[in-house]
Amino acid sequence: MTFRVLIEQVRALVASAVESAGYPKLDFDVSEPPRKEFGDLTCNVAFQMSKQAKKAPQKIAGELIERIKPQQDSFVLSAEPHPAGYINFRANYAKLSTTTLAQVLKNPDSYGYYDSGKGSHVIIEHTSVNPNKALHVGHMRNVILGDALYRIMKATNHRTTVLNYVDDSGLQVADIVVGFKFAGMKTEPPGGKKFDQYCGDEVYVKINEMYEKDKELAEMRKLVLKEIEEGKSEIARFAANITMRVLQEQLKTCWRMKARYDLLNFESHIVVSKLWSRAFELLKKNNIARFEAEGKNKGCWVIEAQGEEDKVIVRSDGTATYIAKDIPYAAWKLGLVDDPFSYAKYQNQWDDSMLYRTTLGGESATDRKFNGGDRVTTIIDSRQARLQRIISQVLSQMGTSGREYLHLGYEAVTLSSATAKSMGIDIGERESTHMSGRKGIYVNADYVLDTLHAKAYEEVKTRNPEFSEQQLNAIAEEIAISAIRYNMVRQDLDKMITFDVKESLSLEGDTGPYLQYAYARSQRILEKSGRQVDSKARFELLTHESEVALIKEIAKLDLVFEDAARSLSPKSLARYAYSLATAFNLFYEKVPVLKEENAGVLMARLALVSAFGVALKNALTTLGITALERM
RNA sequence: GGGCUCGUAGCUCAGCAUGGACAGAGCGAACGCCUCCUAAGCGUUAGGUCGAGGGUUCGAAUCCCUCCGGGCCCGCCA
């Protein structure tokens, strides 16, 4: 919180100087300067004023500086004008250090968490992988992004509900059912293969190949789909069973990545619940949907989409289209329609929370409300942006009474040419290729985790030969998760990730394990010191450049959480964690802690190391990365 | 054809919302640093017409326009 206060104090000083000098109020920026010689904060107010005041920035800065007199006990030490026109400020390090470290050590478990949510309810949907295949790297980006967002929302005091939509009545499920029922494929995977992988890698790929040659088989999927939608036949029961088996395996992978959910929404329940017809009534009542008596959409119900062709939502045969199915679900999320579902327990999760699933009829196993969020965020890749925009538009026409529907899109994950080649896929001159479940062009999530695990295992073992198998595996697993999680979240959402197996195995530099390593180093210092950290140590003794820099980073955590929540940007949190870890590694290099002979300085440094650990751990936890004591 | 999006060092990316002080990291390359808290670390050097051109501005990687190049989306499929 202290960096925030420092900024506020500088703002106040500048604002009052502007006022007392007789200038009108105006907006100005207070930020960190590009070079440390310019101090800790800089203000561009003189530039902003120069036009109106018809004076050179340097002159204004000179005028204002006379009126900027920091209080004795404030975080601001001094202000000075720079010939370029900036007003630069220096922080009172003794005060900043003392206050920051005391704050961290007093409430380590909640340090940095910032109440920007005020308890408002956010609903986040992510994962939502068709239950006919295993997750691949592309899905990993979705899961990791969604889970990080959930954690950020929690850290900023939002009430959170995480949904995972299960499309159990779609064509993709029908496809593997055709494979099992009409193409003679076995329902038990060979050699103990994971069931989701078996269905995706073999059944789904093969049946799509068979469709090419066998048109009758291709016709079967429509019949199967119809039976699944009606939900009563033997085929439907068989499909439901297959879906549940795949889903359970998918969840294992998600849980392995340390994601968790509150509710599984089954599409079939939305279909049967008549949620659609209720939403459709609303659309008709509000004149959002229109019946076409003639033209190319004759006999269909359509909605107008801004700047686009009309969208058909009900076909001339009376069935609903894909986008139409999303509308009632979205309306349910926002609480615009009565909740038709009951809720049953599905399974307890790794974080000891209960995962529920929708059911129809009967008593609910919980009183909890899963819908009606103040804000609903749906995480799907940006290929769906167009449809999502139409859904938002329709919802706002229905009247969301202040509630917000947001699509958080991200670019796809593609495979590098090297990785594609290693899988026997020739992509010619191209640098990367899009994945395709149908064609079997993808890298499985479990494979990525296993490969990373194996690599990390060797690394940990060389460094810690005395560790037991169990310890080695536990640590290797955490490193694997951190590597992939950090990798998926560190870059901008609208940038494609070209996944390369070999590159992903890097555990050095700007990676998750680098962060964990900095943490492990800090914990070893504390352990070896054999002392208790004293939150009342003499922090003003921490005057080394690298000590001050580290304290400043620690002091910014709440600003980072606030920003990450506001801009829905796990990336900014990842960037921060990296610079925090770098600040620590610099300190580690320059300032020996355990060798220090002055007891007062030693205690102050230990407290700093401890505070660093707290800040980094809280940042890592929010990214879904485990802070390791040893690695 | 229309819409969205990306283009910054050899490679992967920050910075762009709210324009400002010599454009920053990581990887890769070369060379250094473990009698000292784990070298998964730290440092030095080399490497940039911020895709191109125009405009706005005292000032543009950042805002606007045009163009070029890559990706995606535009179905009574899902």
DSSP per residue, A425-470: ---TT-SEEE-BTTTTBS-BHHHHHHHHHHHHHHHHHHH-TTS-HH
ipTM of the complex in this document: 0.96
Give nearest nucleotide to A412 (CA–C1').
B72
Q: Give the distance, in angstroms, between residue A28 CA and nucleotide B18 C1'.
A: 9
Q: What percent of chain A has pLDDT over 90?
A: 86
Clarify whether residues A473 and A567 are in a common domain.
no
A561 touches A112 (CB < 8 A): yes
Comparing A120-124, A276-280, A511-515, A616-620, which segment has the lowest mean pLDDT?
Answer: A276-280
Clarify whether residues A39 and A109 are in a common domain.
no
The string of DSSP codes covering A464-532 is -TTS-HHHHHHHHHHHHHHHHHHHHHSS-TTS-EEE-HHHHT--SSSSHHHHHHHHHHHHHHHHHHT--
Clarify whether residues A485 and A567 are in a common domain.
no
> Distance between CA A449 and CA A344 in Å, rounded?
31
Q: Does a structural domain hold residue A20?
A: yes
pLDDT tens digits, A257-295: 999 999 999 999 998 898 988 899 999 999 999 999 988
Of A504, A521, A555, which one is at a domain's C-terminal end? Answer: A504
Clarify whether residues A521 and A492 are in a common domain.
no
Task: Report the protein residue whose CA lies nearest the C1' of nucleotide B33.
Answer: A589
Task: Report the protein residue whose CA lies nearest the C1' of nucleotide B6.
Answer: A495
Clarify whether residues A87 and A18 are in a common domain.
yes
How many Cβ atoms sit within 10 Å of the Cβ of residue A29?
11
> Distance between CA A282 and CA A286 in Å, rounded?
6
Clarify whether residues A443 and A469 are in a common domain.
yes
List b or e across A471-501, with b for residues whose CB sees 16 or more CB atoms inside 10 angstroms.
ebeebbbbbbbbbbbbbbbbeebeeebbbbb
Sign of CA dihedral A95, A101, A105, A109: positive
Residue type, A605: R
Q: Give the distance, in angstroms, between residue A542 CA and nucleotide B32 C1'.
A: 29
Task: Report the protein residue whose CA lies nearest the C1' of nucleotide B78.
Answer: A322
3-state secondary structure A143-190: HHHHHHHHHHHHHCCCEEEEEEEECCCCHHHHHHHHHHHHCCCCCCCH
A459-464 contacts, C-beta under 8 A, 24 or more apart: A459/A507, A460/A631, A463/A631, A464/A630, A464/A631
Q: Does a structural domain hold residue A531?
A: yes
The candidate with the shortest Cα–Cα distance to A575, out of A459, A475, A490, A515, is A490
List b or e across A437-462, with b for residues whose CB sees 16 or more CB atoms inside 10 angstroms.
bbebbbbbbbebbebbbebbbebbbe
Give nearest nucleotide to A571 (CA–C1').
B14
Q: What is the model's pLDDT at position A598?
A: 94
Residue carrying structure tokens 């796990």: A570
> Distance between CA A98 and CA A229 in Å, rounded?
64
Give nearest nucleotide to A130 (CA–C1').
B78
Q: Does a structural domain hold residue A297?
A: yes
CATH number assigned to the domain comprising residue A71: 3.30.1360.70
Clarify whether residues A572 and A531 are in a common domain.
yes
Q: Give the distance, in angstroms, between residue A503 CA and nucleotide B10 C1'.
A: 16
Range with top average pLDDT, A223-237, A304-318, A417-431, A560-574:
A560-574
- Number of domains into which chain A is organized: 4
Clarify whether residues A516 and A611 are in a common domain.
yes
Clarify whether residues A582 and A603 are in a common domain.
yes
Clarify whether residues A555 and A575 are in a common domain.
yes
DSSP A79: E
Q: A122: exposed, middle or buried (C-beta count within 10 Å: 0-12, 13-18, 19+)?
A: buried
Q: Give the distance, in angstroms, between residue A149 CA and nucleotide B20 C1'.
A: 33
* A3 band by pLDDT with thresholds 50, 70 and 90: very high
Of A328, A343, A363, which one is at a domain's C-terminal end? Answer: A328
Q: Does a structural domain hold residue A16?
A: yes
Phi-psi region of A299 (alpha: psi -120 to 50; beta: other; left: phi over 0): left
Task: Report the protein residue whose CA lies nearest the C1' of nucleotide B5.
Answer: A494
Give nearest nucleotide to A589 (CA–C1').
B42
Q: Is the pLDDT of residue A56 over 90?
A: no
Q: Does a structural domain hold residue A196?
A: no
Mean pLDDT of chain A: 95
Q: Give the distance, in angstroms, between residue A623 CA and nucleotide B45 C1'.
A: 36
Residue carrying structure tokens 């055709």: A178
Give nearest nucleotide to A567 (CA–C1').
B17
Can you tell me the mean pLDDT for A358-363?
A: 91
Q: A426: exposed, middle or buried (C-beta count within 10 Å: 0-12, 13-18, 19+)?
A: exposed
> Distance between CA A166 and CA A196 in Å, rounded?
14
Containing A378, the helix (H) or strand (E) segment is: strand A375-379
Q: Does a structural domain hold residue A64?
A: yes
Q: Which positions on strand B lie below 7 Å from a protein C-beta?
A: 3-7, 12-15, 17-18, 20-28, 36-43, 58-59, 70-78
Q: Give the distance, in angstroms, between residue A594 CA and nucleotide B36 C1'.
A: 10
Q: Does a structural domain hold residue A613?
A: yes
How many Cβ atoms sit within 10 Å of the Cβ of residue A328?
25
Give nearest nucleotide to A463 (CA–C1').
B38
C-alpha distances in Å from residue A341, one per residue of A49, A236, A240, A270, A367:
59, 20, 18, 9, 12
Can you tell me the mean pLDDT for A297-313?
A: 89
List b or e across A580-604, with b for residues whose CB sees 16 or more CB atoms inside 10 angstroms.
bbbbbbebbeebebeebeeeebbbb
Helices (H), A75-159: 93-106, 137-155
Of A504, A529, A546, which one is at a domain's C-terminal end? Answer: A504
Q: Give the distance, in angstroms, between residue A600 CA and nucleotide B53 C1'.
A: 63
Q: Is the pLDDT of residue A361 over 90?
A: no
> Distance between CA A378 and CA A407 in Å, rounded?
5
Q: Give the distance, in angstroms, between residue A508 CA and nucleotide B30 C1'.
A: 19
> Distance between CA A144 and CA A408 in Å, rounded?
13
| Both tokens assigned to A5 | 């206060």
Give nearest nucleotide to A475 (CA–C1').
B40
Give the β-pairing of A404-408 and A432-434: unpaired
pLDDT tens digits, A230-241: 888 999 999 999
| Both tokens assigned to A125 | 């949907």
CATH number assigned to the domain comprising residue A544: 1.10.730.10
> Distance between CA A111 and CA A536 in Å, rounded?
17
Q: Give the distance, in angstroms, between residue A351 CA and nucleotide B70 C1'.
A: 42
Q: Does a structural domain hold residue A32?
A: yes
Give nearest nucleotide to A387 (CA–C1').
B73
pLDDT tens digits, A321-349: 888 889 999 999 999 999 999 999 999 99
Domain containing A497 equals: 415-504
pLDDT tens digits, A559-602: 999 999 999 999 999 999 999 999 999 999 999 999 999 999 99
Q: Is A285 helix (H, G, I), strand (E, B) or coil?
A: helix
Comparing A118-132, A334-348, A422-436, A443-457, which segment has the lowest mean pLDDT?
Answer: A422-436
3-state secondary structure A307-366: CCCCEEEECCCCCECHHHHHHHHHHHHHCCCCCCCEEEEEEECCCCCEEEEEECCCCCCC
